[in-house]
Amino acid sequence: MADRKPLISGNWKMHHNHFEAIQTVQKLSYELTKEDIEEVDVSVHPPFTDLRSVQTVLDADKIPILLGAQHCHFEDKGAFTGEVAPNMLAKLNVDLVIAGHSERRQVFGETDEEVNAKVKAILAAEMTPILCCGETLEEREAGTAGERVTAQVTAGLKGVKAEQVAAMVIAYEPIWAIGTGKTATPEDAQEMCATVRGVVADLYTKATAESVRIQYGGSVKPGNAPDLMAQPDIDGALVGGASLDAVDFARIVQYRNAV
């Protein structure tokens, strides 16, 4: 693996009110050591209603955890009731924003074109996108997983400059493994993450592909994190349910300590 610092992100989805979010991030900070933070970048992605509360705690207590958001609109402002603009997130010191999560694509109908617009808007607001890609069970069983992921990554990066891509994060998350308890084998996860890196190399350069960080997401837990993180093209994890518990999430961050 190239010298890419792992990034482990906790996506809290529609969980935790702002009181619970404060408690979780404080407990997480107690569980993590200085060495953990030196070795691994850690981000939390709470619901929008929690962002200001979590940001205040992170800043006031000087907690070295990155603040992330789960989603944003691609316009700076306008008549988009219920949406949040990228520059609003930037003002809250948000570092990373998830774009194109499978639940946004599957449940809310986000298109590849919209995801691409969000990636560009996040970059324009000087934040880092986590571009998500992944196949359904039907696509995997049909043998078209690679084709689907290649199309999503290609569309998501359209018009994005090489230097921007190099500093981005791409998360491979097989849709059939999210919230189901099923996990891709480390070998399957590696194969798909290598596919993602190969797409970036084809679109840009090998150097760009070697710089981009690729996460695996899909029922990541303390028990399977070490084997997943041992794969050469997996540079981190996008963690769902296990990130809601500070102790479990810390154990994933501490995957290096597994015997």
Q: Give the pairing of strands 7-11 and 236-239.
A: parallel
Q: Which of 92, 77, 73 is nearest to 18 (CA)?
A: 92
The number of angstroms, rounded, from the C-alpha of 170 to the middle of its chain's C-alpha atoms is 7
Amino acid at 82: G
Grouping H, G, I as helix, E, B as strand and the rest as coil, residue 67 is strand
C-alpha span between 97 and 10 (Å, rounded): 12
Is residue 173 annotated as part of the catalytic site, yes or no? yes
Contact 31, 66 (CB under 8 A): no
Which of 110, 135, 139, 173 is labelled catalytic?
A: 173
Q: What is the DSSP letter of 188?
A: H
Contact 136, 98 (CB under 8 A): no
C-alpha span between 69 and 223 (Å, rounded): 26
Which of 71, 101, 103, 139 is labelled catalytic?
A: 101
Report the b/e string of 38-53 with b at 16+ CB within 10 A. Answer: eebbbbbbbbbebbeb
Structure tokens at 214: 């690729």
Is residue 71 annotated as part of the catalytic site, yes or no? no
Catalytic residues: 101, 173
